[in-house]
Structures are given as structure tokens and as C-alpha cells.
Chains A and B, each alone.
Chain A
Amino acid sequence: MSMQLHGYNMLGGLAKTGNRVAIHAQRRWLVMLAMLLCLPHAVMAEDTASRSTLLAQAQEAYDQAVAMQAPNRLKARTLFSDALKKYESVLDQDVQNAGVLFNAGNAAYRLGDYAKAIVYYRRALLIEPNAADIQQNLSQARRQVTLQIEPPTERKIFASLLTYDRWLAPSVWKYLAYAAYVGFWLLLTLRIARWRQPVSVPTALLALCLLLALVAGRAFWVAAERFENPAAGVVARGQTELLKGNGTGYQRRIDEPLTAGVEFELIEQRPDPDQRLWYRIRLADGTDGWILAERALLI
């Protein structure tokens, strides 16, 4: 009997303890959930603070370097290099921002690395295609390239017509595409469902929404693809021979060696027997040939 009583008490105690444990467990879950929800924000806040510091330091170094460029070139160069490293450090943290790319391009330009500057400016233009400051500095960097290759005029016009996606920023295309897409489905739902009172939705409006969604979606898709899988690049080092094949055994394609900063369109990549990667490129005037991948930067 005493055992039973003891057992009963014990079970009752366990039950009470169990309830308390359950309540504590619930609270603990709530606390953990709250922590889990807060954790990403805390990490993001920390990242943001660190990036913010890096950007501020980079800007300070850049400003100091610009101020002392004439009297103390060596020191200015060190500061520009420091600024560039900091901007690149921010970019390495998976930050995609046209402003940071633009600033990195400016620092590279100041260091005389026009090829890298062009790469940064062009990458920034992928995000903000109509930014006047980026376009102007890109033109300035392009003017420094020794070998200027002029594209044929008809090609320019044709390219401009085909690439309507560059008329607006990819983010604008994205919002347009989403608005049209959501609008299309909303209107279709209204039209089909009719609720209690039938809603009249003109077919033309539906078609317009769908067309806009497709056009804007395609533009955004193309921009995203161009950003993720670059199909263009810049010759990074001077005296780069454009050859007829992927190896030093091939003849030169053109007589003049390519200089740093010459832009190209990437057609193909292929290794040679020594496992060195080669790019098949097309220059602005349509000439195509092969260069060593290590002598180029992709945008």
C-alpha cells in the first residue's frame, strides 16, 4: 500500500514536474524561436556594420589619395590601392551594388589599371544601365586604352535594337514583370471566379498584362544571365597576342598585339594540351581569335 501510495505520489509529482517541464519547454521553444528569428538580423546587422566601416575607410583613403596625388604620388598610390582592396573586400562579401563597383572602378582607374576599371564600370552598368556617372567614367577609362577598335556603325544600331533590356535597370524590369504577372493572375481570377456579381475584365487588358510580364521578364532574365554568366571581358595585360587557335603554336590572327583594356565578347573557352585555358573572343570590329584566359578579365 505504501508502495502504491508512494508510487502514486511519485507519479503525481512526475506529472506536475512534467507539466512544469512542458511549460518550460514551451517557453524555451519560444525563446529559441525568438533567438532564431533574431539571429539572422543580428548577423546581418553585424555584416552591415563591418561593410559600412570598410566602405567609410575606403572612401577616406580614396579622398586622401586624391588630395595628395600631385605632391606625393607614391603615398597616393598606396592609398588608392588600399581603397581598392577595401572595395573589393566588400564586393567579395557577395554585395552587388553599382555604387561599390563604380567606386572600385574609380580606384582601379587611379591606379592606372584601366582594364580592371573598365570591368568594374561595365559590371556596374549591368545593374544601373543608365547611370550617367558610370557611363562617363567608363568613357574616360576607354579613352586610356592604347588600341582603340571602332565597331561598325550598322552593328551598333542592330545591337541597340536587340538589347532593349538595357533601356531600364534590371530591378525596374523585375518590378514591372512582377506587377504585370501578379496583375494578370489577379484579373484572370476575377474574370473566372466572378464572385457573386460577375466582374467584367476585358480580354485586351489580360493580354496586355501577359505581354508586359513576358517582355519585362525576358529583359530581367537576360540581365540576370549576363550578370551571372559573363559573356564579355577585357584584356588585362598588354602585349596579348590574338592567335588563330588555342595554343602558342598557332599563328597570329592580327598583326598588332592587344593592349590592356581592349574589350571583347567571349565566344568559347577551351584548354590547350598543357591544361592552360584559352578564350575565343570577338573584338568590337568583329575580328575573332584566341587569347590566354590568364591575360583577360571577364565582366
Chain B
Amino acid sequence: MRDLFRQLAHRSTATGLAFLFALLAWHASAAAQSITATPNVRSASMDEIVVISVVVSNPNQASTPEPPTSDDYDLTLRGGPSKSQHFEMDSRGRRFSDISYTYQFVLTPHKTGIVTIGPFVLKDNGRELRSNPFRVKITESAETKDLMVEVEAPRKTLFVGEAVELKLHIWLRVYEQRGIGRAEAGYMLQRVQASTSDFGIFTDLIRQRVPPAVKEATRKNDQGKAVDYYRYTFTTTHYPSRPGQLAVGDIRIEALYPTLLRRTVFDWDHARPPRRLQAQPDVDDIVVKAVPLAGRPPYYRNAIGQFTMQASAAPRSAAVGDPITLNLRLTGNSPLDGIAAPKLSEVAPLTENFEITDDSLAGVVNGNMKTFSMTIRPRHEDVKEIPSLPLAYFDPEREQYDTVWTDPIPLAVRAAERISVPITPEGNGDSNGPTELTQVDDGLLANRTNIDGLLVSQGIAITTIDRVLLAACPLLFVGVVVFIRARCGGAQMEERKRRSRALQEAERRLTADRSAAGALHAMLGFVADVSGAPRAAVARGDAIRLLQQHDVPSDAIQRFDKLVNDLETAQYAGGATEASFDVADIRNTLKSIDRAVSKK
């Protein structure tokens, strides 16, 4: 038993010691300084980018490791280091931290073949740490380039101060994959890595998120085979500032070109790591020259290009000293932003006859036209026209100066009217009559300040409620009609139908039976129909009473009574026909009764 305890104690001591050593070893490794360099690819073509990540762990001071130098390649640092730190705690609550800095270097190979990189050197408090060297295989670029960059200028020779429209073309080969098809222009544009690319003088466009013009175009590769590309064009106006080769800044475009894509729910995704491509434009053949001093004409105001100028003035008829608006319209084939207004104060024929208030206006550009507006005032009434005005410019095509003149504008200038204002002493009026107040038209009326009134919605749109109301009325009408008809039942409906057709029925009877009995039957039947009484039960007396109940005028009742009386007499006399009574009179009487009943 004692041996057993001894063995156990021995084992636990050994385990504890082993654990302690492991912990110390771990701590020692966590705090150890090291440097490692790893490329993103081991094989790349000349137009691809190889990014080398150099990780420095636990340095005493964060200093950039020195890259190796070689004639075979260049290594350039890309941006600042990214720092990562994580903490661990031991059983006693002590905290250990592990800090690492990652630097990224871009490899630009100068030759194909196997290139040996390394080592990267870090000098840290007198110690020198070195990364392991490694090798990268560099191959020739493919015959068909996937990414190309060009800068296009309007001409190969430009001039200092000239406003030049420069275009940056980024060509990306249209990616195509069986099962997915052709990648769209928008998707391909997103492959361009704006964050790691340099755009030189086009940077502002990228910052302002100006979308490029997109065009699908075909180019031939080195083997003469047609290849489909998307061409993205950014356009900017550039003013070359010094002679020599055109300076467009550092332009270097990076793109992640897909190698294999798969379709996800929302977008496409890389099924295989993409190729990291880069391309730079070649602007060596675009030269900037200084505008020659020799032969520079007067009135030259930095206009470089080809221009025409027109002048207009309003009004054409004015008094001496009156303002005349003079508009000068400059039309040109180059950007007009930097062109200053013609210096009219230097045009002697104009200044002799006109006062010029301001000739330093900026002008307003509208398309390929720039308008300068200024006010001039005729000095005397002998002025007959606004003289021709000059504009001198340098034509970069012909590389010489030129001057254009506007047409003179005829004017009619009259002498200024002099108004004598009678001076009236204040308060010198002896009239006691009412004073007519003078309204002052100038100035604004005050705001409306009733907040409750301002919050009232005065919307004049046609709303859903309006539409519902419009539809509801006829529907309600139909509903009411249907309801009433259903409620009244067949008998009442029949009765109402009978009332409404009483006159028609009486007419039918009069036509069908032309005897006195027939006419009498029609008249009494009419009253029965109108009153809703049974036809057989209505005699002469009943008819009179029913008509009185309907408030039929007494003269109509009397006429009705007389007619019925006549008909009864004729009927009992026997053989009475239409000739013995007036059917028209019967008709008129019935109509007048019908009108009276309907009105009620």
C-alpha cells in the first residue's frame, strides 16, 4: 500500500514537472522573436503580382524589415504593417501577449525563370533576424493579356497650360466560363482593386465615384486573334504644367482576374484563387511643349485650341449712360473652363465709346460654349455700334497663334433725359382733404406663422378615400334599389307597375274598344289603376272619391265626372259609338289627372 502511494506521488510529481516545462516552453515560444516571409503564389507570369507577406513576431520595436535586393526583381513595400495581438493567462493570472506585424511587399520580376527571394532582415535591438529564402517561378505573360491600361490624349504633342481631355482606358478581357456564360461588365469592373491601385491624375474621379464609360470592344492579341474586352474609360481635364514627357502621375492598376467561378445565391464567387494582375500605361510618346512666345498677339488670354466668338447686346437702343448687356459667346473644341474673358479694357475702339464696368468675369460654360456677360454704357450719343472684339488663341494643331473678331453690333444711342425734380418745402400743403396713401410695391410680405395652419395637410392629390367615395355612391344607390325591391315584394311591385302604366293601359283600352262602354271602362279602369283599387269595384262615385284623395284639381275631377256621366248615359241609351263622345277630351282629361297624381 505504501509503495502504491509512493508510486502515485512519484507519478504526480513527474506529471507536474512535465506540465511546468511545457508551460515554460510555450511561454518562451510565445514571446520569441521571429521573421517569416511567404509569397501568395509560388508561380506567376510577368504581368501578375506576387505579394509577399512578411510576419515579424514580438519585436522590441516595430521597424520595417529590409527586403533583399537583386537585379532579377524589385520588392516594394505596400502600405503600413497590420498588427495582431492576442493574450494568454497562466494559472497565477499573469498575462502573456503575442504581438505580430505583417508587412506586404510586391514583387516585380525583371526576368523569367526561377527567382530566389530572401532573406528579409530585421534589425531589432542589435539582433539581426532573417527570414528563410524561397523561390518563385516567373513565366512569360500569356499571348492574350487579361488586363491592359492606356492613357489617351487628343494629340501626341500637347502644350503647357492647354486644357487637355485625357482618357484612362482599362481593358479587361471578358471572362467566359462554360455553365455560367460571360461575366457582365459591372462584375468585371469590380475585379479592379481600387484600394491597391494607383490612378495618378485620375484619382479624384475614383474618389468621387464617377462611373466610367463602358464599351465592349474587340482587340487583336499578339497572334492576331480577336479577343473580346470590356473597356472602362475615365475622362478628366488635365492642364500640363511643364514641358517634357506628359506627367500623369503614378498609374498602376491591379485586378483580381477570375480563374474559376461558381454561382452563389446572390453573386458569383471564386471557386479557385483568382490571378492578381497589374498593368501600367505607357505615355512615353506623349510630349508636352511650351506655348511659343514668338508671335504672341495682343489680346491673348490663355486660350489654346480652336475657337470662334460671337457677340450680342441688349438693348440695341439706349440712352447715354444706360446699361447695355454685352454677351460674348466663345465656342471651342477644347475644354473652356480655364479660359478667361477677353480683356475689353484693352480694346481701344470699345473703351473710347463705352464705359466698361467689369471685364473680369469667370463666364459660364454650357457644353462646348462659354458665355461672358458684362455691362457696358455708351459714353455719348454719337455711338453707332459696338465695334468688333478680338480673341487671340493658340492653335495646337497648326502650332501657331490666331485671332478671331466678332461682328460689329449696330446701336441707336440717344441723349440722356434730364429730370428736374421740383423742390417742395415739407408740410407746405394747405389742403385739409383726405390724403391718398401711396402703396409701396417693393419688398416681401411677412411669413405665415400660425404653426397649426402650416401643419394642415392641403394635399390635392386624388387619394384612395376619394376613389372609394366615388365608387361607393353608385354602389349604395344600386344596393338601396335592390333592397327596396326585395322588401316591397311582388304584389307591391305589381301595384307600382300598374300605377306607372295606368295611362298606357287606358289608351290601349280606348283604342281597342271604341264604344261608350269601352271608353267608360277605360276611364274607370284608369282611376282604379292609379289608386291601386280592384278594377271591377270602381264605380263613378268611387272614382270621384279616389281622385279627391289624390288631390287632383277640382276642375279635372269635374271634367272627369261629366265625361263619365255622358258615357254612362250613352251606354244606357244603347249603340253609342265614338261619334257620340269626344275621345280626345277623354285622353286630355286622363293625362291631366295622371300629371296631377304623378306630381303628388
Judged by a CB distance under 8 angstroms, whether A174 is at the interface is yes
Residues facing A in B401-453 (CB within 8 A) are 441-451, 453
Q: Are B455 and A221 neighbours in the complex by a CB distance under 8 Å?
A: no
- B373, B459, B599: most-surrounded residue (chain A CB, <10 A): B459
Binds A, one of B146-154, B247-255, B362-370: B362-370
Please, how many angstroms separate the alpha-carbon atoms of A238 and B474 in the complex?
54
A71 to chain B, nearest CB (A): 18
- B441, B470, B480: most-surrounded residue (chain A CB, <10 A): B480
Interface extent on B, as a size class? 35 or more
* Given the contacts A171-B460, A181-B470, A248-B368, A52 and B448 also touching, CB distance less than 8 Å: no
Q: Are A55 and B445 neighbours in the complex by a CB distance under 8 Å?
A: no
Q: Which residues of A contact B371 (CB under 8 A)?
A: 239, 241, 257
Judged by a CB distance under 8 angstroms, whether B473 is at the interface is yes
Please, how many angstroms separate the alpha-carbon atoms of A59 and B447 in the complex?
8
Interface string of B458-488 (1 = CB under 8 A from A): 1111100010011001101100110010000
Contact of A241 among B366, B442, B469 (CB under 8 A): B366
Please, how many angstroms separate the alpha-carbon atoms of A24 and B198 in the complex?
67
Instruction: Name A220's closest neighbour in chain B (CB-CB).
Output: B460
Please, how many angstroms separate the alpha-carbon atoms of A51 and B496 in the complex?
61
Instruction: Name B373's closest neighbour in chain A (CB-CB).
Output: A239
Q: Are A98 and B458 neighbours in the complex by a CB distance under 8 Å?
A: yes
Please, how many angstroms separate the alpha-carbon atoms of A133 and B79 in the complex?
63
* Given the contacts A133-B445, A223-B460, A248 and B367 also touching, CB distance less than 8 Å: yes
Q: Are A182 and B473 neighbours in the complex by a CB distance under 8 Å?
A: yes
Q: Are B481 and A52 neighbours in the complex by a CB distance under 8 Å?
A: no
Q: Are A133 and B448 neighbours in the complex by a CB distance under 8 Å?
A: yes
Please, how many angstroms separate the alpha-carbon atoms of A295 and B477 in the complex?
53
A-B contact count (CB 8 A): 123
Q: Which residues of A contact B450 (CB under 8 A)?
A: 99
Q: Are B451 and A137 neighbours in the complex by a CB distance under 8 Å?
A: no
A65 to chain B, nearest CB (A): 11
Q: Are A97 and B447 neighbours in the complex by a CB distance under 8 Å?
A: no
Q: Are B454 and A100 neighbours in the complex by a CB distance under 8 Å?
A: yes
Q: Which residues of A contact B444 (CB under 8 A)?
A: 106, 109-110, 137, 140
Judged by a CB distance under 8 angstroms, whether B178 is at the interface is no
Contact of B451 among A52, A62, A193, A240 (CB under 8 A): A52
Judged by a CB distance under 8 angstroms, whether A14 is at the interface is no
Please, how many angstroms separate the alpha-carbon atoms of A241 and B1 in the complex?
112
A249 to chain B, nearest CB (A): 8
Q: Are B366 and A189 neighbours in the complex by a CB distance under 8 Å?
A: no
Q: Which residues of B contact A223 (CB under 8 A)?
A: 460
* Given the contacts A171-B460, A224-B462, A227-B461, A56 and B451 also touching, CB distance less than 8 Å: yes
Q: Which residues of A contact B477 (CB under 8 A)?
A: 185, 188-189, 192
Residues facing B in A141-177 (CB within 8 A) are 143, 170-171, 174
Q: Which residues of B contact A220 (CB under 8 A)?
A: 460
Please, how many angstroms separate the alpha-carbon atoms of A251 and B473 in the complex?
57
* Given the contacts A198-B600, A220-B460, A239-B364, A189 and B449 also touching, CB distance less than 8 Å: no
Judged by a CB distance under 8 angstroms, whether B38 is at the interface is no
Please, how many angstroms separate the alpha-carbon atoms of A110 and B445 in the complex?
12
Judged by a CB distance under 8 angstroms, whether A103 is at the interface is yes
Judged by a CB distance under 8 angstroms, whether A102 is at the interface is yes
Please, how many angstroms separate the alpha-carbon atoms of A175 and B336 in the complex?
57
* Given the contacts A96-B460, A133-B448, A256-B314, A55 and B454 also touching, CB distance less than 8 Å: yes
Please, how many angstroms separate the alpha-carbon atoms of A136 and B462 in the complex?
29
A120 to chain B, nearest CB (A): 12
Q: Are B476 and A292 neighbours in the complex by a CB distance under 8 Å?
A: no
Interface of A is mostly: helix
Q: Are B364 and A238 neighbours in the complex by a CB distance under 8 Å?
A: yes
Judged by a CB distance under 8 angstroms, whether B312 is at the interface is yes
* Given the contacts A127-B460, A181-B470, A140 and B373 also touching, CB distance less than 8 Å: no
Q: Are B459 and A96 neighbours in the complex by a CB distance under 8 Å?
A: yes
Instruction: Name B454's closest neighbour in chain A (CB-CB).
Output: A99
Instruction: Name A221's closest neighbour in chain B (CB-CB).
Output: B462
Q: Are B366 and A102 neighbours in the complex by a CB distance under 8 Å?
A: no
Q: Are B461 and A181 neighbours in the complex by a CB distance under 8 Å?
A: no
Q: Which residues of B contact A227 (CB under 8 A)?
A: 460-461
Judged by a CB distance under 8 angstroms, whether B327 is at the interface is yes
* Given the contacts A103-B447, A106-B447, A238-B364, A52 and B473 also touching, CB distance less than 8 Å: no
Q: Which residues of A contact B327 (CB under 8 A)?
A: 256-257
* Given the contacts A181-B473, A188-B477, A221-B462, A241 and B369 also touching, CB distance less than 8 Å: yes
Please, how many angstroms separate the alpha-carbon atoms of A192 and B477 in the complex?
9
Contact of B448 among A48, A102, A178, A256 (CB under 8 A): A102
Judged by a CB distance under 8 angstroms, whether B457 is at the interface is yes
Please, how many angstroms separate the alpha-carbon atoms of A256 and B409 in the complex?
14
Please, how many angstroms separate the alpha-carbon atoms of A140 and B446 in the complex?
13
Q: Which residues of B contact A48 (CB under 8 A)?
A: 455
Instruction: Name A272's closest neighbour in chain B (CB-CB).
Output: B367
Q: Are B460 and A193 neighbours in the complex by a CB distance under 8 Å?
A: no
Q: Are B473 and A224 neighbours in the complex by a CB distance under 8 Å?
A: no
Judged by a CB distance under 8 angstroms, whether A200 is at the interface is yes
Please, how many angstroms separate the alpha-carbon atoms of A194 and B499 in the complex?
13
* Given the contacts A52-B451, A136-B445, A224 and B373 also touching, CB distance less than 8 Å: no
Beyond A99-B448, A256-B325, 12 additional contacts (C-beta under 8 Å) are A59-B449, A90-B454, A96-B461, A99-B450, A99-B453, A99-B454, A102-B447, A137-B444, A140-B443, A195-B484, A224-B461, A248-B367
Q: List 15 A-B contacts (CB under 8 A).
A: A48-B455, A59-B447, A99-B454, A136-B445, A137-B445, A181-B473, A184-B473, A189-B481, A192-B481, A193-B480, A224-B461, A227-B461, A237-B364, A238-B364, A257-B371
User: Taking beta carbons and an 8 Å cutoff, which residues of B are in contact with A?
Assistant: 312, 314, 325, 327, 364, 366-369, 371, 373, 441-451, 453-462, 466, 469-470, 473-474, 476-477, 480-481, 484, 496, 599-600
User: Taking beta carbons and an 8 Å cutoff, which residues of A are in contact with B?
Assistant: 48, 51-52, 55-56, 59, 62, 90, 95-100, 102-103, 106, 109-110, 126-128, 133, 136-137, 139-140, 143, 170-171, 174, 178, 181-182, 184-185, 188-189, 192-195, 198, 200, 220-221, 223-224, 227-228, 237-241, 247-248, 255-257, 292, 295
